[in-house]
Amino acid sequence: MSVLDLTAPAPARTRTPRTTAATGTVGAAEVIEATEFRLLGPVSVHNRRTGTGITPCGPKQRALLATLVVHAGEQLSVERLVEELWGDRPPANAPSALHTHVARLRRLLPAGHEWISTLPTGYLLSLDGASTDVARFTRLSGQGRATAPSDPRDATRLLDQALALWQGRALQDSCHGPLCTAEADRLEEQRLTTLEALYEASLNCGRHTEIVSGLERLTAAHPLRERLYDLLMVALYRCGRHSEALGVYERARRRLVGTLGVEPGPALRRRLEAVLNHCPTLTPSPPHRPDPADLAAEAARLQTRIDQLARDQADLLRRIKEQGTGT
């Protein structure tokens, strides 16, 4: 992706051009449709038609864009935006400094649509149909988790697509104030929940051998998430590594007790008991195989129906022929 750094000041408003055959100017609808605001990594604006992108070069510009996109359609007061950009050390004339940043951001955003409105007490960004990678991630993740019980293979495809949208930490280099920090934390929790759903669906597809190393890395990176230990224990057990599965429980217990002063929760304790007792539920259910007798009966029903349709067709042709000859 080609990334441009543009910081020159600009007028507060952008006129909306019209598409004409003579000028070839891109209309507002095309601009909106092509625009995607990206927050799952470096904050940027992506043109889906050309494949190019724009990234604000300054941290204040990135924080301002991120805040306005996170709260798109909502008026943000000058006071909240000043706190987001400068915290408890605002400049001497904070409203004027904020206005300058907003003006520069207007210049940065794709021309052809008025993205940011100035209101009596603040500012508002309108998506008006433009997309965000957060919305795409949320949709794909939700579809994958909903599909998982009935079709784990399709679920892994959808969840993989959702996670592929991430290009780094959410709102990367833009989390200086409370609004962006809270959103980044929320998105990171959604990412981890989606990862857990992906690994569970992979287990249900019989891919336990493939996911062990990934789960090992995740438990090391997130040592207080019991669900990851649970999935790793199942994967190891299905690989025939029963003692290692028990070792994962002990590792989880040491982490939880040492860091939080609590024992593992009931779900992880039940998993330990299942491993110790070689519970049948730990073994993946074999794929359903139809009874040969049922298949034979269904084939006989289909053949009977085919024979009947052939007789009906022959009878219809006979009657048509009789009518044609007048007999």
Predicted confidence (pLDDT) per residue in 96-106, tens digit? 999 999 999 99
pLDDT at 162 over 80: yes
Q: Within 10 A of 163 (CB to CB), how many other CB atoms are there?
A: 18
Q: What percent of the chain has pLDDT over 90?
A: 70
pLDDT for the residue 246: 97
Cross-strand partners of 117? 124
Which percentage of the chain shows pLDDT scores above 70? 87
pLDDT (tens digit per residue) in 187-217: 999 999 999 999 999 999 999 999 999 999 9
Q: Is 259 exposed, middle or buried (0-12, 13-18, 19+ CB in 10 A)?
A: exposed
Grouping H, G, I as helix, E, B as strand and the rest as coil, residue 38 is: strand
**Residue with more model confidence, 35 or 19:** 35
What's the whole-number average pLDDT of the chain? 87
Is 203:231 a contact under the CB 8 Å cutoff?
yes
Q: How far apart are CA 122 and CA 120, in angstroms?
A: 6
Residue that is written with structure tokens 């799952």 in the block: 40
DSSP state of 239: T
- CA-CA distances (angstroms) from residue 88 to 58, 78, 93, 102? 19, 14, 14, 20
Find, among 144, 132, 143, the residue nearest to 69 by Cα. Answer: 132
Cα 251 to its chain centre, rounded Å, is: 30
| pLDDT digits 0-9 by tens, 232-242 | 999 999 999 99
Q: Which residues contact 314 (CB under 8 A, 6 or more apart)?
A: none
Tokens of 132: 């965000």
Tokens for 117, please give them.
Answer: 């409105």
